[in-house]
């Protein structure tokens, strides 16, 4: 479904990603693990067309998308949930959700359909986004991606900054998407256990390079080495 080959990325003269290759199959959920600054966000942003200077190949359903505008990539069915969530604080939850319809103006879901997928948002629809808790904002950011009916969601560190109990319920939300909706996912995380519980396979990034890849079971079996790469 998505095949990234030999991807390099640069911020000005700073070379940040080196020869990154990864694949995500139809309906597959894949983790991208790595410590702070390993290049996880840059990988997602490069796939989404948000990094100005990249080289290599990003294939989506058989055609090259590297270099296309983010809005074009979104319309082809790839959604991106940024690390900072980018909730509009003065818009209500419902209005925030509607903003995501631009990714798929003709085929977007109704707000009610998103609320069925993310029931924790249902009682909050009229609240301004800015007053939601961190976990609720994360669910809203995911909902805003889902309303455009994507086939692949790129999720950047959804557990970051959330209390352990909230992380657990967020995990259930993400797991439901995976098991009930069949949406493919690339999940960036520093939180190894959270990510491995929600994915089939994982890649480990270090210093902008993929240094390890395997099934979640294989990664668990190597947990000592992986923890060293994650800096824990």
Least separation in angstroms between residue 35's CB and ligand ATP is 7
Of 147, 142, 190, 198, the closest CA to residue 168 belongs to 198
Collapsed DSSP state (helix, strand, coil) of residue 32: strand
* Of residues 42 and 104, the one with the C-beta less far from ligand ATP: 42
Among 2, 24, 38, 87, interactor with ligand ATP by CB under 6 A: 38
Answer for the pair 49, 219: CB distance below 8 angstroms, yes or no.
Answer: no
| Alpha carbon distance 174, 130 (integer Å) | 22
Collapsed DSSP state (helix, strand, coil) of residue 39: coil
Tokens of 105: 């103006």
Least separation in angstroms between residue 14's CB and ligand ATP is 5
Residue 69: how many other CB atoms lie within 10 Å: 12
Contacting ligand ATP within 46-65 (CB under 6 A) = none
* Of residues 108 and 202, the one with the C-beta less far from ligand ATP: 202
Tokens of 131: 């007053």
Q: Is residue 129 within the footprint of ligand ATP (CB under 6 A)?
A: no
Least separation in angstroms between residue 232's CB and ligand ATP is 13
Q: Is residue 74 within the footprint of ligand ATP (CB under 6 A)?
A: no
Size of the site for ligand ATP (CB under 6 A): 12
Contacting ligand ATP within 17-36 (CB under 6 A) = 34, 36
158 by Cβ neighbours in 10 Å (0-12 / 13-18 / 19+) ranks as: buried
Of 204, 178, 205, 152, the closest CA to residue 25 belongs to 152
Among 13, 14, 63, 180, interactor with ligand ATP by CB under 6 A: 14
Among 7, 29, 41, 141, interactor with ligand ATP by CB under 6 A: 41
Q: Is residue 155 within the footprint of ligand ATP (CB under 6 A)?
A: no
Tokens of 57: 């190949």
Please report, as ranges, the residues that interact with ligand ATP according to CB under 6 A: 11, 14, 16, 34, 36-42, 157
């Amino acid at each position: 479904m998505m095949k990234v080959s030999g991807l390099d990325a640069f911020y000005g003269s700073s070379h940040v990603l080196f020869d990154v290759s990864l694949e995500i199959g139809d309906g597959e959920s894949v983790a991208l693990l790595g410590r702070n600054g390993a290049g996880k966000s840059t990988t997602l942003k490069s796939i989404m067309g948000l990094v100005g200077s990249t080289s290599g190949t990003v294939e989506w359903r058989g055609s090259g998308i590297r270099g296309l505008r983010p809005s074009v990539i979104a319309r082809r069915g790839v959604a991106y949930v940024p690390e900072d969530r980018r909730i509009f604080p003065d818009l209500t939850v419902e209005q925030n959700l509607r903003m995501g319809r631009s990714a798929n103006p003709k085929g977007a879901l109704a707000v009610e359909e998103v609320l069925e997928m993310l029931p924790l948002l249902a009682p909050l629809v009229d609240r301004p986004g800015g007053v939601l808790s961190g976990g609720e904002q994360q669910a809203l950011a995911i909902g805003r991606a889902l309303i455009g009916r994507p086939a692949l969601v790129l999720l950047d560190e959804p557990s970051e900054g959330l209390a352990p109990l909230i992380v657990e319920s967020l995990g259930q939300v993400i797991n439901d998407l995976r098991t009930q909706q069949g949406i493919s996912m690339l999940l960036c995380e520093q939180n190894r256990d959270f990510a491995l519980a929600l994915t089939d396979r994982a890649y480990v990034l270090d210093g902008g390079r993929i240094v390890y890849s395997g099934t979640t079971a294989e990664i668990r079996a190597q947990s000592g080495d992986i923890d060293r790469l994650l800096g824990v």
